[in-house]
Amino acid sequence: MTSPLEQKKIKIAGPSVVTANRTWDGIVVYRTAAKSWSADLSEAAIVRNSDEAKALLAESVADDVGAVGPYIAPVQVGDDGKVEPGNLREHIRRTGVTIGQPAQV
């Protein structure tokens, strides 16, 4: 597998985070400023330019045991500082399927 760092030049258009899936159970996680992973988007480290994004991604990729497949994803940061996913895919990853699940969770 090609490292995400080698895949393409990292270019971001706005505030972004690094997200991945936790290795042991696969749940969606976000890289935090404390060099850890959190399931809570509000705890994610926000990057605002390509150099910051590249550094955060490199650090995330290095933690191969903690999480799988890290990549940079766009977010929206409100005036109140609240962080929301920047596209539908990330919205679904954060909040779950947009349909009712057949069985009660």
Partner 1 sequence: MYAYDEIDRTLVNERVSEFRDQVKRRLSGELTEDEFKLLRLQNGVYLQLHAYMFRVAIPYGTLATSQLRALAHVARKYDRGYGHFTTRQNIQFNWIKLAELPDALADLAKVGIHAMQTSGNNMRNVTSDQWAGVAPGEIEDPRIWSELIRQHTTLHPEFSFLPRKFKIAITASDHDRAAIKIHDIGLRLVRNEKNETGFEVLVGGGLGRTPFIAKTIKHFVHGRDILSYIEAILRVYNQYGRRDNIYKARIKILVHELGIEKFSREVEEEWQHIRNSSLQIDDEVIEDIRSRFTYPAYEKLPHMPDELRQAAADPEFEAWRKSSVAPHKVQGYSIVTISLKPIGKPPGDATAEQMDALADLADKYSFGEIRVGHEQNLALPHVAKRDLPALWKALDKLGLATPNVNLITDIIACPGLDYCSLANARSIPIAQELSRRFANHELANLIGRLHINISGCINACGHHHVGHIGILGVEKNGEEVYQITIGGRADENAALGTLIGPGVKFDEVADVIEDVVEAYLALRERPDELFMDTVKRLGVEPFKERVYATR
Residue 93 sits in the site that holds partner 1 (CB under 8 A): yes
Rounded to the nearest whole angstrom, what is the least distance from the CB of residue 42 to partner 1 in the complex?
A: 19
What is the rounded CA–CA span in Å between residue 60 and residue 50? Answer: 15
The single residue among 33, 69, 76, 84 that binds partner 1, judged by CB under 8 A, is: 69
Nearer to partner 1 (CB atom), residue 12 or residue 33: 12
Contacts of 21 (CB under 8 A, 6+ apart): 27, 28, 29, 67, 68, 69
The single residue among 21, 36, 38, 50 that binds partner 1, judged by CB under 8 A, is: 21
Nearer to partner 1 (CB atom), residue 20 or residue 83: 20
Tokens 């270019």 found at: 11
